[in-house]
Amino acid sequence: MTDYEIANPELAACEVHGVTRASFILRGALAAGALYGTGAVAPFVSQAFAETGGGDAEILNFALTLEYLEADFYTVKGKQVGLSGQAKAYAKQFGAEESEHVTALTAAIKQLGGTPVKKPQFVFPATSESSFLALASVLENTGVGAYNGAAPSLQSKQVLASAGSIVQIEARHAAAIDLLIGKSPTPNQGFDRPLTKAEVLAKAGPLIKKA
């Protein structure tokens, strides 16, 4: 988990849906937008995100799974590991906030006419405060990338605004945890890297018990 690939220099050639981030921001799609109209590149981007699934409810269900994971990690695993000091305080605070995200996403999915996923069973490979915090860093940073990666394919502006207000909290959690364990609070430098669903699953998937 410590090799989480977040230590890239800014504007490094990270893949963002097949486009490097540098070109993503400064050249590629925006240039295409300027030349052909942003409407012309929108379908390309939507297609890139289409792997996320069918519509907003589907995207929110993916987010809900991650929030279940984070909430369970802080509230259940945190107690098992036996934390102290700042780690304990963060686990309590962040666990409560992730639980609020679970509640909000569940309600939003229902509002959209979807069926919220059931809470999965999780298995967390953390046995000490230090391994707990290392995993917390991975989870929070993955959460940031997951929301940032999925958000542009949300159709509802209201859902987008809500996702934005959640991802900002994930980023704050990530920074606080990273500072606590002596890592950079800005592992992606100036631009947080959006993650694809596959990248998120590579990090989170092994923590979810198969039904």
Q: Report in angstroms the alpha-carbon separations of 178 from 70, 160, 166.
A: 16, 26, 18
Using the contact rule CB under 8 A, the part of the chain among 75-83, 99-107, 120-128, 202-210 near other proteins is: 99-107
Site string for other proteins, 169-188 (x = CB under 8 A): xxxxxxxx--x----xxx-x
Q: Where are the extended beta strands (E) located within the chain?
A: 15-16, 19-20
**φ/ψ (deg, to 5) at 16:** -125, 95
Is there binding between residue 155 and other proteins (CB under 8 A)? no
Closest CB to other proteins among 80 and 93? 93
Which residues ranging from 105 to 124 are in contact with other proteins (CB under 8 A)?
105, 107-108, 111
Alpha helix (H) residue ranges in the chain: 21-26, 28-36, 38-49, 55-72, 78-81, 85-111, 129-150, 157-180, 197-204
Question: Which residue's structure tokens are 């639980």?
Answer: 99
- Judged by beta carbon, residue 7 or residue 127, the one nearer other proteins is 7
Instruction: Answer yes or no: are the C-beta atoms of 91 and 180 closer than 8 Å.
Output: no
- Comparing CB distances to other proteins, the nearer of 164 and 206 is 164
Q: Which residues bind other proteins (CB under 8 A)?
A: 10-11, 16, 21, 24-27, 29-31, 33-42, 45-46, 49, 93, 96-98, 100-101, 104-105, 107-108, 111, 144, 147-148, 151-153, 157-158, 160-162, 164-176, 179, 184-186, 188-194
